[in-house]
Each structure stands twice: as structure tokens, then as C-alpha cells.
Chain A
Amino acid sequence: MRDVALFVPCYIDQFYPQVGLAALEVLERFGAEVDFPPAQTCCGQPVFNSGSFDAALPLAEKFLDVFSSYRYIVSPSGSCTSMVRHHYAELVPHRMGELRGKTFELCEFLHDVLGAKPEGHFPHRVGLHASCHGLRELRLASGSERRIQPFDKVRALLSGLEGIAFAELARKDECCGFGGTFAVAEEAISVAMGNGRIADHERGGAEIIAGADMSCLMHLDGLIRRQKRPVRVMHVAEILAQAARDPGAEGAGGAEGAERADGADELVEAR
């Protein structure tokens, strides 16, 4: 599998580099040859969703200039992937051909294109947070609203890991309340929604709240750390990478959650 461009959302680049590294590691493990085009910045979703379509336009143009020569564009974010795949049609309809069939969210790419069957050891109880754009725009899972044959690509990837258990949620795919600028514009509701999700995961016995969108997890993690709750958050890529490095002996521990920036270094050195 050649020519995969890794699209690392701006906030992951800046604040969660270990998630980008984990995504890279997982892709390479399943045979992808990955490049990170360094001119990339942001897909434009924050300004687009704020109603500034004109400010988003040059960002869409830039994205296409940077990425459209690649065979695949893969990102560890459902929301940013959906922005490019669906909403660029509002901005650059004439250039959508350059993207056709190329953009993938990481789990979707592993599941649908690489047919990955991740292995490894991850002896933890995980609550899966289905991020809305991944769920309802990319259709990473069937969703609780629709009456179709149930499926869940993220869960399918994780369920092959040895020792993993899933927390069953009362509301299996309710929004966490992040919503981009919604998180600050409607702070009261956003926080109430986030607290509701955390409580649901805790009731289900989750040690870790995992998801394919770090932005939702950033919001939940902000609440968790402020309230000093025992549960922690991890991106699915981090779980897959960590599990693969742990063949099953022991020592699956809690270092990943607390010092994530350092965890990234550890990841580099581990190679």
C-alpha cells in the first residue's frame, strides 16, 4: 500500500502529538507507506462551522494543493475527514474530483481499505465514545437512530485485542457536547453534555474513554481532569499502538494517560 498522506489535524499536531505518532505507527504496521506533507495546517472546519465560509475557502484550497497528489489521505479524526469529504463541496465544488474516494478516517481506512485485524494485549475496560461526525457523517457505525443491520468499525478493530472489555453505555452514541466553537459559545450546555457522557461511561465501569476524535476527548478530558475523576481518555490509535507493542506478557499500565506528551517520546524510542 503506497502513497498514504497522513493528515494530522492542527490541534493534534500541537497538543496531542502522540496521537499522530500512534496513527503513523498503526498504519505502517499494516503495510502502508506513509508520508506527512509538512505544509499542512488545518482543514478549516473551525471557521467553516462558525459561519465564515469565506475564511474557510483558502484553507480548503491549501488542503487540496498539499494533499491531492496522494493516492490516499488518512486522518485520525472523523470530524476533519468529514469536513474534507463532505463539506468541501460547499467551498470548492469544482475541485471535488481531486478528492474522490481518497479521504479516510483512520479506523475506516484500517477496516475498509487495509482490512486490518489488529492484535495485541490491552487488558482494560474501555468505553467507546462514538464521535458524531464519524458516526453520522462517515457512518463508522450503524448508529442508534437507524434501523439497519448493526455494525461498528471502531469496535470491530478493537475487539480483536486480547484482554479488552467494553463498558456498555445507557446512551451508546449520544453527543459529548464538544461541537467545536459550541464548546465555548454554549458553554453551559456543552459542559452538561460532557458530564452526562462521563457519568454514563463511569456507570458502565470504563477505565478508559476511547474514541476516534481527539477533539471530543479533549473536551471530556478537560472535565475529567478538572473534576479529578479516575477515568481517562485515549485515542483509538493510541490503544492499537500500545496493544501491538504489548504482546501479552504483563505491565499494561497507566503511564499513557497521565503523561501523554512523554508517552510520545516513549513511542519513538520504542521503535
Chain B
Amino acid sequence: MEHPEHVKHPEHVEHPDRAAAFVANGERLQWHDKSLWFVREKRDRASGVIPEWEELRALAAGIKAHTLSRLADYLEAFEAKATALGAHVHFARDAEEHNRIVHELLARRGITRVVKSKSMLTEQCGLNHHLEAHGIEVIDTDLGERIVQLRHEPPSHIVMPAIHLKKEEIGDLFHDALGGAQGISDPKALTEMARGHLRDKLLGAQAGITGVNFAVAETGGFVVCTNEGNADLGTALPRLHIACMGVEKIIPRAKDLGVFLRLLARSATGQPVTAYSSHFHGPRQGGELHIVIVDHGRSTILGREHYRRTLQCIRCGACMNTCPVYRRSGGHSYGVTVPGPLGAVLAPHVDPAKHRSLPFASTLCGSCTDVCPVKIDLHEQLLLWRGDLGRQKLVPLKKRMASRVAGWILVRTWAYLLLGSIARWFIPKLPKALAQHRWNDWGRQRELPPAPKETFRELYAKRRRTSGKAK
């Protein structure tokens, strides 16, 4: 589902190393954690006012599960309806084909200036890079996306792409890149600056690219949700609208939109609904609409029984906001377009060796599973991935050996008891230099557990003897 990665993610850097680098800046860590927890709390309040919230989640999960079970049928139905409405529907097997289709649509019309609203799919496909390499200017119009685009870095969050940046950094960026005055850090002033810049780009654009939040098989239309109105501007101004969607964006009926729109924004940002939920049915008068439907690894996931539920995802980002590891390691620590628990279960499908540290970048606390509006069992899937990586011998050798040895010992009660007594004898005698050594990942910042003279079982036996009722 990920890649090709054109962004500057170093190869084979493991999550713990990047996370440690993020944690090293304690003040930024606290700030990042608090910003995202604030969004999680907004989500709690927004969902709390809906008495049927849990039923709504179950319904949404059920609709998605049903749709996935008949995905090809629904896509065909959608294609037929959309075509009848005057749209052109394209299918792409993978990122390369998707990029080629979009480029050809633009090139054939001599288009060199494009605006694009937020789409994680095009991000995953590396569309911007592909088009830019062919001399086409692509401007991301979502404010957060524009910020990270100007910084030449990937988004760190799928809903709030620039959540890792401070307003002062954005002020500096706008000073350098947009010619803004120096030292501006007021979000309102910065947003106003971006408004002027983006209006120029929007008014000059020859084509608008959008993602798709929901595509309706019954009607052949699709819905795009934004708060800024940038998708609407980007499609109302130029003649050509290209909408890019993953195969899993289909829902059966128009009335199902009611279910998903109630969940999406409340889960994502704690708003009752986004400012604009725009429904596109066919091209606008005098315009052209092309819909590119992309597989890019999704059919592989669909074929994996234990993992197919991830395709229910509506990309709200709630799992990221609630994840205690994401909040404290930042989106870039995952090294993939979609970070957090969701990214950690998606990325290994593409390259299990490269992303092998991601399923371990979790305490398996399960909060992601419980906030998920479509009930994806994210923490269960993280655990399943660990097992799959273990079977593929992709868990580091040290860890595998440790498990083998531990397994051998623990299955033999005598060996377990022997090891336990050695450990309890050894721990109090450990010199501080060793117990707290920088190589000791437990003891560097934590005391070791106490080493009592007797085990529970010894005390238990003693107690049974004194009370005279040993069994």
C-alpha cells in the first residue's frame, strides 16, 4: 500500500532510533504529545454527544465489511453510473500506472499548472514527484500539505500534515518561500498569507486533482470533505477535474453517506462534520471529470483474511491521535506515508523486511482499536504481524534467540526455577555501573525489580505447611 517513496526517508532506519531522536528534545516531545491529545479529547467530546455512537461504529464496520466482500461488483456498478453521468473512469494496477494515467491526461491537454487537494493515495503513489519530473507544477492546496510541500518533506499525519511544526517554523518558512515579513508567527496572519498565495495558484490552475473520501456505487458520484474549501475551489475553477481513489473507497448506497459523514469528522478532529462535504456527480458544465481507481497492493491485503479489515479505513487519523507511541515519536519516525498504528499494519504488506520494526512500535495498548470508527482491530493486527515477521525470520536474530532460549527454559519448571534463583541472587549484587549502564535498556533509566529471598511458591509451600492443609 505504501511507496514508491520519493521522500527523504533513510533506508532501514528502525523506529526506535528515530523515536529516540524525537524524544531527545523533551520540550518538543511534550508539545507534540499535548497537541495530539487535545485532538483526541475533542474526538471524545464530539462522539460523546451521539448516544448511538457505538451502534454507528458497528453499522459502519458492517457496511464496509459487506462492501469489501463484493468489491469488484460495486466498482463495476460505480463505473457504469459514473460513466453515464459523463465521467471517465480509469483503473490503475499500481502507483506507476496511476501516475502515468494522470500525467497523460494533463500532457495531452498541454497542462503545466495543477492544484491538488489532500489525497493520501497520491502521496503514497509519489504523484507530485512524477508530475514535477515532467515539468508540471503541482501545488498542494490544503494549508498543512502546502506547508510540508514547501519544506520538501512528507506529511507527518494524514489529517494534520504539519502537526509536527511550530508556528515560528512556519513563519520562517513563509518568509523564505512566500516572501512574507520576517518574524510572523500568528496562525491567523500566516493563514492569511497562505490564502493570498493559494488564491493566485488556484486562479491560475489548469487542472484540479482531488482525492475521494467516499464513492457511491448506487449513484456513480463521490464525496470529498475539506474544511478549507480548497477541493471545491480546485475543481470549480479549472476545466479538468481528476479524482484519484483507492478501490476501497466505495460504499453501496447514498444513504450510507449519512453513517460515514457522522463518524468521519468527529473521529478525525472532533468537529461534527467538515465545513464542506461536497458531492460530485459527473463533470461540471463545460468541464471534464476523470476518476482514477487504484489497486496498488489493496487486492493483496483483501486476500489476506486476518488483515483485510484494514481496508475498512476511512482515513480519519483517530488511531494516530490516540496512539501514545505516535504522539511521542512523531509521524516521521515511521518512515512511511501513513504513520501510526494504521501505517504500522499497512507498511509490512509492501516490504516486510524494510518495515519490520513498525509492528513492534506499539505497546499493544488497544486504544487505536477502540477509537476506530469502523472497528478495525488494529492492535490485534500489530500482534499478528509480529508473528508473521517471526515466521519469515524478520525479527532481529537477538530477539529470536532470546525467545527460543526463554521458551526452552519456561517449558521446564526446574529450569525456570533455577534461572529465577540465579537472577534473584544476581540482581542485588549487580554493580551500579552495570545495572545502569547505557547498554542496559531497562536499567539506564529504571531500577531493576526487587530480588526477594523467596519466591511466591516457596512462601506458599511454607504457608501450607504451617496451616497444615497442603494439598
Contacts and interface: CB of A to CB of B under 8 A. Distances in A.
Contacts of B366: 132-133, 135-137
B89 interface: no
B44 interface: yes
B77 interface: no
Contact of B54 (A39, A48, A147, A177): A147
Interface string B437-468: 00001101111111111111111111100110
B8 interface: no
A250 to B, nearest CB: 27
Contacts of B449: 11, 15-16, 218, 221-222
Interface stretch (A138-146, A154-162, A201-209): A138-146
B457 A55 contact: no
B261 interface: no
Contacts of A221: 447, 449
Contact of A143 (B363, B370, B384, B456): B370
B404 A52 contact: yes
Contacts, number: 245
A20 interface: yes
Contacts of A17: 452, 454-456, 458-459
B337 to A, nearest CB: 21
Interface in A14-47: 14-21, 24, 35-36, 38-42, 44, 46-47
Contact of A36 (B322, B460, B467): B460
Contact of A35 (B360, B455, B471): B471
Contacts of B276: none
A51 B441 contact: no
A179 B363 contact: yes
A13 interface: yes
Interface stretch (B125-133, B153-161, B218-226, B394-402): B394-402
Contacts of B386: 49-51
Given A50-B399, A62-B411, A177-B363, A226 B459 contact: no
A171 B34 CA distance: 11
Nearest to B333: A189
B409 to A, nearest CB: 8
Contact of B406 (A8, A21, A46, A137): A46
Contacts of B389: 51
B416 interface: yes
A10 B406 CA distance: 12
Contact-size category for A: 35 or more
A187 B16 contact: yes
Contacts of B442: 183-184, 187, 222
A185 B406 contact: no
Given A12-B456, A42-B416, 12 more contacts: A35-B471, A47-B410, A51-B400, A53-B387, A59-B411, A132-B367, A144-B44, A145-B322, A145-B371, A147-B47, A188-B20, A191-B445
Closest CB pairs A-B (n = 7) = A179-B363, A222-B446, A55-B407, A51-B390, A261-B452, A52-B403, A136-B366
12 contacts: A8-B457, A21-B459, A24-B460, A39-B413, A42-B410, A50-B403, A136-B369, A174-B367, A175-B367, A189-B20, A219-B446, A223-B446
Interface of A: 8, 10-21, 24, 35-36, 38-42, 44, 46-56, 58-59, 62, 87, 90, 132-133, 135-137, 143-148, 171, 174-175, 177-194, 196, 218-219, 221-223, 225-226, 260-261, 264-265, 268, 271
Interface of B: 15-16, 19-20, 23-24, 29, 33, 37, 44, 47-48, 50-51, 53-54, 322, 324-325, 328-329, 359-367, 369-371, 379, 383-384, 386-391, 395, 399-400, 402-404, 406-407, 410-413, 416, 420, 423-424, 441-442, 444-463, 466-467, 471
